[in-house]
Structure formats: structure tokens, C-alpha cells
Structure 1
Amino acid sequence: MGIEHINRSLKIFRILSERYRNRRRRYALRCNLIAALYNHELSLAA
């Protein structure tokens, strides 16, 4: 159940919900940055 919430948050940033049209080498960097933002948000809520 927890993983669905993470996928939902990544879809809000539209990194997983649409086709990625930028440079491929930056895809991993952007996914990591969004995951870091989400983790930071979780640490603030706890």
C-alpha cells in the first residue's frame, strides 16, 4: 500500500505519468531529486 502512495506522488510531478521528453541522462537525476523532496516532506510530517 505504501508504494502506491509514492507512485502517486511521482505522478503528480508528471515524471512517471507522461512520456519523458528531455535528455535521458538527466532522467535519473530528476527522479532522485523528486524522491529526495518526497523523503524530506515525509520527515517533516513525522
Structure 2
Amino acid sequence: MEKEKKTRCFPRPPFGQKYIIHTLTAGYLAGVAATISVFKLLKK
């Protein structure tokens, strides 16, 4: 029972960390692009 609970609470999908890193970098780049576009609109 304890082993099943541990596996359910902490799943280990393949390439989990890489997927998280890619999503974080994509979100960061999107945020930077959005802020740059907003600053350009405000300057105009």
C-alpha cells in the first residue's frame, strides 16, 4: 500500500524535467515579447 501511494503522489513521466524546463522557457520568452510589444505601443 505504501509503495502504491508513493508512486501515485510522485509520478515520474519520461522527460518530465525537460518538458517543465521547455514550458518555463517558452512562457518566459512569451512574457518578454509581450512586455516589449507593450513598451513599444506605449512609446508610440
The TM-score, its normalising length taken from structure 2, stands at: 0.49
Greater RCO (Cα-Cα under 8 Å, separation 6 or more): 1
Structure with the higher fraction of residues in helix conformation = 2
Rg larger for: 2
